[in-house]
Structure 1
Amino acid sequence: MATYIGFLRAINLGAKRKFPKAAIAKAVEAAGFTEVETYINTGNVRFDTTLRSRAKIEAALEKAFEAEAGFAVPTIVFTQKELSAIADEAASYGHGGKHYVSLLKDVPTAAAVKALEETSTADEVARVGGRAVHLLLGENYHEARLTNAAIEKQLGIATNRNLTVIRALAEKWC
């Protein structure tokens, strides 16, 4: 058995995409995974499985989530080691402002990473490490150009969490 952490994209936004923690856990168990736990109501789930293929795990979860919620739920899965590395990498930036992490479904190309990182400014910095984009934002973070939507336009499907959540999950589940 291996433990994975899944991040659900675009749930609990507006009236039509509600997907409570209990329903998420039910769907994960229905997909055949065990030792299921959720953390806050933003689509974070820990589970064990005998599957080893990330693509197969994500596909099984997405099928179960759509069956339970009634809408597509893109899902991004990491191993415990990968999540720990993302949390650890954040410390290397020493950023005192707002720090968000966009978690990517697929590894971006070197050209796409270079293009994204070149859009950085003094107040908005993007640093890509594997399937994680660290968004280091200044005081006007609520007006930032570097958002998860911008990341998705350049690098594909992503979901965003603030660094506090990433660190809490790494501490709790890794």
Structure 2
Amino acid sequence: MATYLAFLRAINLGAKRVFPKEDIRRVVESVGFEEVATHINTGNVRFESRMRSRQRIERTLEAAFAANRGFEVPTIVFSTAEFREVARQTRELDDANPGLARHYVYLLKDELSAAQIAEIEGRADERGGMVVRGRAAHALLQPGYQDGAVDPLGAASLLGVATNRNANVIGTLAEKWCGA
């Protein structure tokens, strides 16, 4: 069996999209995945599966979540090897950019085209920039970026289906679940 990490998008953001981590664990187990674990209440799940298709795993989980909750829950899945690489890139970018105010990692359902990457990375300014590596886009935000905007670079809407975690959570999950 292979181990995977799933990241749920847009849950626990108000009274209508509540999905406690114990319910997530139960639903993931109900579709046959094993050794299920969750981390904090933001939709981080580790599990084992005999399935080998990331897209099939995502579809299976999304159908189960929608049936259980009554709303869509976009789900982004990584193998442990893929996630270890995201964590490695996160550390590398942190080391190369000392003094960041924030480093958010957007986990992407699909890889972006070269044109999309150029547009996203081209939005860099004094507030920071985005660096895209495979299915991860790193928002590297400089001190002073905070002007009340959730997406100060206006790039998040260009990423397709994605969910973000801060660099610390990426590192914690890689260490806890991927041995990185």
Q: TM-score scaled to structure 2, two decimals?
A: 0.91
Q: 1:102 touches 1:148 (CA, 8 Å); kept in 2?
A: no
Q: Which amino acid aligns with 1:116?
A: I
Task: Confirm or deny that 1:114 pairs with 2:118.
Answer: yes
* 1:29 to 1:149, Cα distance in 2 relative to 1, 3 A: farther
State the partner residue of 1:28: 28
Q: How many pairs does the alignment contain? A: 174
Q: Which amino acid aligns with 1:124?
A: G
Residue by residue, what CA displacement relative to the aligned partner does 1:76-103 show, whole Å, maximum 9, x if unpaired? 0001111111111112222332100001
* 1:104 to 1:150, Cα distance in 2 relative to 1, 3 A: farther
2-side partners of 1:145 and 1:109: how far apart? 26
Secondary structure of 2:71 counterpart: coil
Deviation at 1:153, TM superposition (A): 2.4
Q: Which amino acid aligns with 2:6?
A: G
1-side partners of 2:153 and 2:70: how far apart? 23
Deviation at 1:144, TM superposition (A): 7.1
Residue by residue, what CA displacement relative to the aligned partner does 1:137-162 show, whole Å, maximum 9, x if unpaired? 02234437673994442121100100
Task: Confirm or deny that 1:44 pairs with 2:49.
Answer: no
* 1:130 to 1:164, Cα distance in 2 relative to 1, 3 A: same
Residue by residue, what CA displacement relative to the aligned partner does 1:125-144 show, whole Å, maximum 9, x if unpaired? 10000000010002234437
Give 2:166's match in structure 1, choosing from 140, 162, 169: 162
Secondary structure of 1:143 counterpart: coil
Q: TM-score scaled to structure 1, two decimals?
A: 0.94
Q: Which amino acid aligns with 2:165?
A: R
